[in-house]
Structures are given as structure tokens and as C-alpha cells.
């Protein structure tokens, strides 16, 4: 009789563990918060101009993460929020690169103008 009671307790423990494991997961507030902040940073960096595809991907994934969280799918929401955060970081980096490239181009134009002006002054002084 004792072995039957032990088996029942073991079965009960296994069923309980499975029910706990299959229970609802905690909402991914941290991941969604990080993704939201990264998206705001990307927008502020000018991602709409310099990295629109990456920004749209980040927005889409964050929206899907919020929908998954609303449907109590915490695992899917956490994954989508993390992906959104990475897309936002990429968009912000591309925006910074775009701005830096634009600044370099502007400085090159200024240098070219200064060089032409210096050449004109040198030609005028030589005559």
C-alpha cells in the first residue's frame, strides 16, 4: 500500500509542476519599457529620416508586443519587445551615421569653397 501512496504523491507532484509551468507568465514590463525608450531615442535621433525601415520595424514589433501582452502571452511579448529594442538601436545608430555623413559632406563643400577662394586670391596676387 505504501508504494501506491508514494506513486500517487509523485504523480501529484508532477501534475502540480506541470500546471505551474504552464501557468500565465508575468507581463514583460521591463522589456516593453526598454523597447519604448529605445524607440523614443531613435525617433529623437532622426530615424524617421535616416532609417525609416528600421523605425517601422521597431514600431511594428512594439505594437505586436503590446498586443501579445494584452492577450497574456508574456513570452511572445518579451521576445517582440526585445526585437523592437534592437531595431530601435539600429535605427538610432543609422540616424547618427546619416547625420555624421551629412556633416562631413557639408565640411567638404566648405573646404572646396575655401580652396577655390584661396586659389583665386593666389592668382590675383601673382599677377
| pLDDT score recorded for residue 1 | 47
Domain contains 6: no
| pLDDT score recorded for residue 124 | 75
Domain contains 54: yes
34-45 pLDDT, tens per residue?
Answer: 999 999 999 999
Residue 114, domain CATH: 1.20.1270.390
Domain contains 57: yes
Is 0.75 surpassed by the pTM of this model?
no
Q: Which domain holds residue 38?
A: 26-126
Domain contains 34: yes
Residue pLDDT tens, the chain, 127 long = 456 766 776 666 676 665 555 555 555 789 999 999 999 999 999 999 999 999 999 999 999 999 999 999 999 999 999 999 999 999 999 999 999 999 999 999 999 999 999 998 887 776 6
Domain contains 19: no
| pLDDT score recorded for residue 23 | 52
Domain contains 2: no
Please state the domain count of the chain.
Answer: 1
DSSP for the chain, written as a single string: -HHHHHHHHHHHHHHHHHHHHTSPPPP-HHHHHHHHHHHHHHHHHTHHHH-HHHHHHHHHHHHHHHHHHHTT-HHHHHHHHHHHHHHHHHHHHHHHHHHHHHHHHHHHHHHHHHHHHHHHHHHHHH-
Amino acid at each position: 500500500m505504501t508504494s501506491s501512496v508514494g506513486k500517487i504523491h509523485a504523480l501529484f507532484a508532477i501534475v502540480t509542476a506541470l500546471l505551474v509551468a504552464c501557468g500565465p507568465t508575468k507581463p514583460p514590463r521591463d522589456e516593453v519599457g526598454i523597447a519604448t525608450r529605445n524607440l523614443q531615442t531613435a525617433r529623437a535621433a532622426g530615424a524617421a529620416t535616416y532609417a525609416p525601415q528600421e523605425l517601422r520595424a521597431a514600431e511594428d514589433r512594439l505594437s505586436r508586443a503590446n498586443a501579445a501582452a494584452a492577450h497574456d502571452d508574456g513570452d511572445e511579448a518579451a521576445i517582440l519587445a526585445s526585437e523592437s529594442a534592437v531595431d530601435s538601436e539600429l535605427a538610432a545608430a543609422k540616424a547618427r551615421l546619416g547625420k555624421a555623413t551629412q556633416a562631413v559632406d557639408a565640411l567638404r563643400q566648405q573646404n572646396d569653397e575655401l580652396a577655390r577662394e584661396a586659389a583665386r586670391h593666389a592668382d590675383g596676387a601673382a599677377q
